[in-house]
């Protein structure tokens, strides 16, 4: 392609609406243009990257035995009501009525549709297993679309669904998809870490996320410095033997002390001259409007996902100060578990091991010291409720946890029979008994991968595309108006095209500085520069975008040397 004919409206300035590097560079490099918040048009270079990623993912799916289909974007409300997700998924769905008043939504995902598709087609155990996938546009009404295509209202996604006779079959299908995902992301040239994840609104048993490590990632992931343990922060746990006391202590007598105006953990710790981990943090919450008290070690933070999963509720709310008296017979800032009646108390596992701790005394300006769980208050359940912290002990080995930010680019779920039972997707087993199809769900954010790749691969000058997903492999920059320079550029351009290499020829009458800057901005892996001075010496210059390495190529052998360079390319990154 000639740059003079390519639609690539680059920008010199950083757009004010772009918060993160990937959004800035996708706009500046002319990959996308916004239509409205969270909705984008992909321009030629951007769409070429999309197509490259699609083909890599498609190949991985096909090799794993999945078959490609294309399902509707418009879904009937009845399907979603059968599974109960019309309400639970509701706020994220764009819902509408047709001219006859029938309810529909724009598809945010396709579990219901796939179950409905096969419920009258899969009749026998002989029809299973089956794995169907699609690459299609999804629509979700994000409250706050942000970060460009990272979190949009409309996005391109590969989703597929495994259909098996039983859970042993699901395990096999799940592992096949896990392996296919690892292959696909590696073939895209991305560094991806696989982590345990929460299933969320999808439901089901096991779940893993595939995370591109990047500073602006919306998700925090914890991983061990010694073993392969890794989990999303929503799911991550630390060793249950995390030490709070290094030696045995005897319980001392419970005592009430004055703590005037000392409401926060920091206030109380400083006032009493103790560490935050010696205090019990008491959180008054409404779980679907039921008042509960949640206890944590003072230096820990509540993981709401873990608590929601334990309680089986949809919503948690903090109790307002004016409701403390009526609901808890206590005072905001001084609430604690000792003497609290008729309230469910749930505590993090670390609290159970605390000795002679400090907690609120349920009276203004009063705290208890020498509080001991079991002796001074009872707990409904001790369980893992906290967000892990860097340095915590690994739950699998003696290593310690590190925490980094990541961008979720893939998510796989063992759904089980949740959707097949709701929709009525069953089959007859070998004994003629009717059984529900066992399902798995697997997604890759195709458009999100573009942004994630840029976040992981860029510098101050622009994008650094991994070779497998670069819109073009080589860019040729003839400098000046010298006829021999132009002729050599054309010759190399035609020869590389004939060799099947995707190449850009910057044939514009721009200054060298403009051409260099835009080549760096676009991130094409190999830049070939042809100048009159070096050409007189029979040499042209090649520069590797990723490393900055510069090579002098003999003009008459340049095409062969470029091909040789690409054949030996290190695809990692």
Specify burial of residue 563 (Cβ count, 10 A radius: 0-12, 13-18, 19+): middle
**167 shares its domain with 54:** yes
Specify burial of residue 277 (Cβ count, 10 A radius: 0-12, 13-18, 19+): middle
Helix residue ranges per DSSP H, 65-207: 77-83, 85-88, 111-118, 167-187
**64 shares its domain with 191:** yes
Residue-by-residue DSSP string for 346-378: EEEHHHHT--SEEEE-SSTTEEEEEE-TTTS--
| Residue showing tokens 């001392």 | 252
Query: Looking at the domain assignment, is residue 99 inside a domain?
Result: no
**420 shares its domain with 529:** no
Average of per-residue pLDDT across 331-353: 93
Structure confidence at residue 258 as a pLDDT band (50, 70, 90): very high
What CA–CA distance (Å, rounded) separates 491 from 308?
65
**179 shares its domain with 139:** yes
The model's pLDDT over 368-392, given as tens digits with 9 standing for 90+, comes to 999 999 999 999 999 999 999 999 9
The model's pLDDT over 105-149, given as tens digits with 9 standing for 90+, comes to 999 999 999 999 999 899 999 999 999 999 999 999 988 888 899
**219 shares its domain with 133:** yes
Query: Looking at the domain assignment, is residue 296 inside a domain?
Result: yes
Collapsed DSSP state (helix, strand, coil) of residue 209 = strand
| CATH code of 374's domain | 3.90.960.10
**435 shares its domain with 483:** no
Query: Looking at the domain assignment, is residue 12 inside a domain?
Result: no
DSSP state of 218: S
**46 shares its domain with 170:** yes
Query: Looking at the domain assignment, is residue 100 inside a domain?
Result: no
**427 shares its domain with 490:** no
Report yes or no: 519 and 477 within 8 Å, Cβ to Cβ.
Answer: yes
Domain boundary among 455, 481, 499: 455
Q: At what angle do helices 446-456 and 44-63 cross, to 10 degrees?
A: 110
Domains: count for the chain: 3
What CA–CA distance (Å, rounded) separates 384 from 396?
15
Query: Looking at the domain assignment, is residue 231 inside a domain?
Result: yes
What CA–CA distance (Å, rounded) separates 91 from 543?
49
Query: Looking at the domain assignment, is residue 388 inside a domain?
Result: no
**378 shares its domain with 520:** no
Burial per residue of 131-160, b for 16 or more beta-carbon CB atoms within 10 angstroms, e otherwise: bbbbbbebbbbbeebbbbbbbbbbbbbbbb
Structure confidence at residue 199 as a pLDDT band (50, 70, 90): low
The region, left, alpha or beta by phi > 0 then psi within -120 to 50, assigned to residue 500 is left
Collapsed DSSP state (helix, strand, coil) of residue 198 = coil
**122 shares its domain with 165:** yes
Query: Looking at the domain assignment, is residue 391 inside a domain?
Result: no
| CATH code of 552's domain | 3.40.50.800
Query: Looking at the domain assignment, is residue 14 inside a domain?
Result: no
| CATH code of 217's domain | 3.30.930.10
CA torsion through residues 88, 91, 94, 95, sign: positive
**438 shares its domain with 487:** no
Report yes or no: 370 and 356 within 8 Å, Cβ to Cβ.
Answer: yes
Domain that holds residue 351: 255-383
The model's pLDDT over 151-169, given as tens digits with 9 standing for 90+, comes to 899 999 999 999 999 999 9
Domain boundary among 383, 412, 442: 383
**448 shares its domain with 476:** no
């Amino acid at each position: 392609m000639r740059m003079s004919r390519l639609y690539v409206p680059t920008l010199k300035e950083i757009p004010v609406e772009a918060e993160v590097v990937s959004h800035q560079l996708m706009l500046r490099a002319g990959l996308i243009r916004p239509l409205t918040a969270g909705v984008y048009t992909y321009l030629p270079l951007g769409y070429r990257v999309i197509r490259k990623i699609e083909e890599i993912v498609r190949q991985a799916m096909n090799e794993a035995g999945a078959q490609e289909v294309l399902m509707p974007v418009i879904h009937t409300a009845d399907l979603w009501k059968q599974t109960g997700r019309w309400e639970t998924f509701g706020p994220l769905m764009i819902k509408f009525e047709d001219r006859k008043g029938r309810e529909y939504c724009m598809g945010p995902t396709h579990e219901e549709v796939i179950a409905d598709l096969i419920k009258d087609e899969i009749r026998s155990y002989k029809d299973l297993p089956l794995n169907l996938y699609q690459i299609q546009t999804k629509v979700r009404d994000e409250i706050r679309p942000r970060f460009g295509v990272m979190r949009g209202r409309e996005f391109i996604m590969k989703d597929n669904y495994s259909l098996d006779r039983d859970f042993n079959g699901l395990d096999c299908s799940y592992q096949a998809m896990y392996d296919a995902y690892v292959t696909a992301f590696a073939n895209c040239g991305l560094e991806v870490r696989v982590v345990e994840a929460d299933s969320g609104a999808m439901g089901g048993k096991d779940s893993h996320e595939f995370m591109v490590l990047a500073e602006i990632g919306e998700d925090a992931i914890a991983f061990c410095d010694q073993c392969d343990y890794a989990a999303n922060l929503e799911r991550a746990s630390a060793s249950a033997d995390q030490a709070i006391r290094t030696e045995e202590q005897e319980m001392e007598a419970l005592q009430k002390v004055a703590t005037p105006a000392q409401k926060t953990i920091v206030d109380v710790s400083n006032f009493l001259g103790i560490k935050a981990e010696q205090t019990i943090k008491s959180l008054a919450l409404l779980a679907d409007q039921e008042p509960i008290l949640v206890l944590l070690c003072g230096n820990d933070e509540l993981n709401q996902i873990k608590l929601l999963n334990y309680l089986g509720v949809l919503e948690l709310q903090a109790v307002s100060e004016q409701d403390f008296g009526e609901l808890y017979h206590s005072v905001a800032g001084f609430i604690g578990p000792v003497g609290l009646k008729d309230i469910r108390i749930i505590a993090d596992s670390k609290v159970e091991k605390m000795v002679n701790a400090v907690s609120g005394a349920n009276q203004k300006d009063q705290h208890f010291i020498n509080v001991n769980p079991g002796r001074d208050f009872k707990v409904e359940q001790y369980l893992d409720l906290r967000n892990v912290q860097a340095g915590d002990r690994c739950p699998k080995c003696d290593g310690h946890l590190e925490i980094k930010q990541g961008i979720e680019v893939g998510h796989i779920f063992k759904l089980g029979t949740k959707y097949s039972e709701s929709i009525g997707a069953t089959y007859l087993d070998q004994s003629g008994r009717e059984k529900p199809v066992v399902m798995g769900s697997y997604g890759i954010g195709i458009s999100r991968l573009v942004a994630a790749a840029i976040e992981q691969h860029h510098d101050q000058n622009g994008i650094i595309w991994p070779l497998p997903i670069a819109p073009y492999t080589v860019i040729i920059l003839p400098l000046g108006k010298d006829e021999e320079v132009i002729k050599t550029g054309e010759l190399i351009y035609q020869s590389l095209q004939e060799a099947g290499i995707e190449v850009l020829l910057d044939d514009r009458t721009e200054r060298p500085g403009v051409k260099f800057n835009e080549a760096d901005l676009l991130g094409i892996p190999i830049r070939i520069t042809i100048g009159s001075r070096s050409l007189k010496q029979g040499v042209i210059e090649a520069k590797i975008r990723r490393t900055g390495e510069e090579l002098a190529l003999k003009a008459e052998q340049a095409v062969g040397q470029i091909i040789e360079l690409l054949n030996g390319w290190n695809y990692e990154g």
